[in-house]
Chain A
Amino acid sequence: MDKRLLPLLPLVTKPARYTNQEVNAQHKNWAEVDVKVALAFPDIYDVGMAHLGFKILYALVNGRQDALAERVYAPWLDMQALMEERKIPLTALESGKELVSFDLVGFTLQHELSYTNILKMLDLAGIPRRSTERNGVQPLIMAGGPSAFNVEPLVDFLDFVVLGEGEEVIHEIIDLVKKGKAAGASRDELLGQLALIDGVYVPKFYKPVYDGEGRFSGLEPLRQDIPGEVKKRVVRDFNSLPYPEEFVVPYVEVIHDRVMAEILRGCTRGCRFCQAGMIYRPVREREPGVLKEQIARLVESTGYEAISLSSLSSGDYGQIGSLVRDLIEQYQPCGISVSLPSLRLDSFGVELAQEIQKARRTGLTFAPEAGTQRLRDVINKNVSDQDLMDVVKSAFAAGWSRIKLYFMIGLPTETEEDLQGIVDLAHQVLAWGREHRTSRRRPEVSISVASFVPKPHTPFQWMAQDSMETLRSKQNFLKERLRHPGIQFNYPRVEESFLEAVFARGDRRLAAVLERAADLGCQFDSWTDCFRFDLWLEAFRAEGIDPKDYANRARDWYEPLPWEHLSCGIDADFLRREWELAQRGATTPDCRWDICSRCGVCPDLRVANALVGRESDG
Chain B
Amino acid sequence: MGSVIRFQFTKGPEVRYLSHLDLVRTMERAGRRAHLPIAFSQGFTARPLMSFSFPLPVGVLSEAEYGDFAFAADLGPREFVEEYNRHLPRGLKVLKAERLPEKTASLQSIVNAASWKIFLPGASAEEIEERWQHLQTVDSLVVNRETKRGTREINIRPFLYDVSHIENTPAGTVIDCLCGLGTETNIRMEELGVLLGFSHLEATITRTGQFNRVGNSCFPPLGNRG
With contacts A10-B201, A335-B40 taken as known, whether A253 is within 8 angstroms of B21 at the C-beta atoms is yes
Given contacts A10-B201, A15-B59, 13 further A-B contacts (CB under 8 A): A11-B201, A15-B17, A16-B19, A23-B29, A23-B33, A251-B17, A252-B18, A302-B33, A303-B30, A305-B28, A305-B32, A358-B44, A359-B45
Please, what's the 1-or-0 string for A137-155, where 1 marks a CB less than 8 Å from any CB in chain B?
A: 0000000000000000000
1/0 contact string of A303-317 vs chain B (CB within 8 Å): 111000000000000
Given A16-B22, A253-B21, A359-B45, the answer on whether A21 and B29 have CB atoms closer than 8 Å is no
State A359–B22 Cα separation when bound (angstroms): 25
The verdict on A595 contacting chain B, using a C-beta distance below 8 Å, is: no
- Whether B33 and A9, one on each chain, are in contact in the complex, defined by CB atoms closer than 8 angstroms, is no
Whether B14 lies near A21 (C-beta < 8 A) is yes
Contact, CB under 8 Å: A10 / B90 = no
Are B22 and A251 interface neighbours, CB within 8 A? yes
Which 10 residue pairs of A and B lie closest in terms of their CB atoms, listed nearest first?
A359-B44, A303-B29, A303-B32, A303-B33, A15-B17, A16-B17, A21-B14, A251-B22, A23-B89, A10-B201
A335 contact from B30, B46, B87, B201, Cβ within 8 A? B46
Shortest distance from the beta carbon of B201 to any chain A beta carbon, whole Å: 5
Residue in B32, B44, B58 with the greatest tally of chain A CB atoms within 10 Å: B32
Q: How far is it, in angstroms, between the C-alpha of A9 and the C-alpha of B60 when the chains are bound?
A: 12
The residues of A that contact B40 with a CB separation of less than 8 Å are: 335
Question: Does any Cβ of A come within 8 Å of B180's Cβ?
Answer: no
Report A212-233 residues with CB < 8 Å from chain B CB: none
Residue of A11, A251, A253, A304 with most partner-chain B CB within 10 A? A251
In the complex, A334 Cα to B43 Cα: how many Å?
Answer: 14
- Decide yes or no: A16 and B31 within 8 Å by CB, A10-B59, A359-B45, A360-B45 being known contacts: no
Of residues 180 through 206 on chain B, the ones whose CB sits less than 8 Å from some CB of chain A are 201
- Interchain CA distance A22-B19 in the complex, whole Å: 14
- Kindly state whether residue B56 has any CB partner on chain A within 8 Å: no
**Are B89 and A9 interface neighbours, CB within 8 A?**
no
Find out whether the CB atom of B14 lies under 8 angstroms from the CB atom of A19: yes
How many residues belonging to B are interface residues under a CB distance threshold of 8 Å? 28
Q: Would A251 and B26 be within 8 Å (CB), given that A15-B17, A305-B32 are in contact?
A: yes
Residue among B17, B26, B48 with the most chain A CB within 10 A? B17
A448 within 8 A of B: no
A360 touches B59 (CB 8 A): no
**CB of B131 to closest CB in A, whole Å:** 23
The answer to whether B17 touches A334 (Cβ under 8 A) is no
Known contacts being A16-B22, A251-B26, A303-B87, is A360 close to B14, with CB within 8 Å?
no
Within 8 A of B (CB), among A342-376: 358-360
Q: What B residues does A334 contact at CB under 8 A?
A: 32
- Is the C-beta of A301 less than 8 angstroms from some C-beta in chain B? yes
B77 within 8 A of A: no
User: Separation in Å of the A291 CB from the closest CB of chain B?
Assistant: 20
B residues 34-88 near A (Cβ < 8 Å) are 40, 43-46, 48, 58-59, 87
B15 at the interface (CB under 8 A from A): yes
Q: How distant is the Cα of A336 from the Cα of B89 in the complex, in angstroms?
A: 21
Instruction: Report the nearest A residue to B41, measured CB to CB.
Output: A335
User: Beyond A302-B29, A303-B31, is A19–B17 a contact (Cβ under 8 Å)?
Assistant: yes
Give complex CA distance A19, B31 in Å.
22
Does A249 touch B at the CB level, under 8 Å?
A: yes
- Encoded as 1 (CB less than 8 Å from any B CB) or 0, chain A from 231 to 254 comes to 000000000000000000101110
From the candidates B31, B33, B91, name the one contacting A300 in the complex (CB within 8 A).
B33
Shortest Cβ gap from A511 to chain B (Å): 38
Given contacts A358-B44, A360-B45, whether A252 and B22 have CB atoms under 8 Å apart is yes
CB distance from B213 to the nearest CB of A (A): 29
Query: Which one of A21, A305, A359 lies within 8 Å of B90 (CB-CB)?
Result: A21
CA distance A253 to B89 in the complex (A): 16
B30 contacts across to A, CB distance below 8 A:
23, 303
A252 partner residues in chain B, CB cutoff 8 A = 18-19, 22
CB of A21 within 8 A of CB of B91, answer: yes
- Bound together, the chains give a CA A303 to CA B29 distance in angstroms of 4
How does the 8 Å CB contact mask read for A192-214 relative to B, with 1 for contact and 0 for none? 00000000000000000000000
* B22 A301 Cβ-Cβ under 8 A: no
Task: List, in ascending order, chain B residues with CB within 8 A of A22's CB.
Answer: 89
Q: How far is the CA of A251 from the CA of B90 in the complex (A)?
A: 12
| Interface 1/0 per residue, B1-37 and A, CB below 8 Å | 0000000000000110111011001101111110000
Closest Cβ of chain B: how far from A150's Cβ, in Å? Answer: 39
Give the residues in chain B near A16, CB-CB below 8 Å: 15, 17-19, 22
Please tell me if the beta carbons of B22 and A253 are within 8 angstroms of each other in the complex: yes
Asked whether, in the complex, the Cβ of B59 is within 8 Å of the Cβ of A21, the reply is no
CA distance A21 to B88 in the complex (A): 12
A218 and B226 CA atoms in complex are apart in Å by 85
* 15 A–B pairs (Cβ distance < 8 Å), ordered by A: A10-B59, A11-B201, A15-B17, A16-B15, A19-B17, A21-B14, A21-B91, A23-B30, A251-B17, A252-B19, A252-B22, A302-B29, A303-B30, A303-B32, A304-B32
Q: Whole-angstrom distance between the alpha carbons of A16 and B58 in the complex?
A: 10
A20-32 interface bits toward B, Cβ cutoff 8 Å, 1 = contact, 0 = none: 0111000000000
List residues of chain A with CB within 8 A of the CB of B25: 251, 253
User: For residue A249, which residues in chain B have a CB less than 8 angstroms away from its CB?
Assistant: 26, 29
Contacts of A21 in B (CB 8 A): 14-15, 89-91
The reply to whether B17 and A9 contact each other, CB–CB distance below 8 Å, is: yes
Q: Give the residues in chain B near A359, CB-CB below 8 Å.
A: 43-45
Chain B residue nearest to A257 in the complex (CB): B25
Q: Is the CB of A9 within 8 A of B59?
A: yes
Distance in Å: Cβ of B6 to nearest Cβ of chain A: 22
Q: List residues of chain B with CB within 8 A of the CB of A302.
A: 29, 33
Q: Which residues of B contact A305 (CB under 8 A)?
A: 28-29, 32
- Report B193 CB to chain A, min CB distance, Å: 13
Q: Which residues of B contact A336 (CB under 8 A)?
A: 32
Measured CB to CB, the nearest residue on chain B to A21 is: B14
Residues of chain B within 8 A of A19, CB atoms compared: 14, 17
A304 to B30, CA, bound (A): 9
Structural contact, A15 and B58, CB atoms closer than 8 A: yes
A17 to chain B, nearest CB (A): 9
Q: Complex Cα distance A301/B30, Å?
A: 9
Q: Which residues of B contact A300 (CB under 8 A)?
A: 33
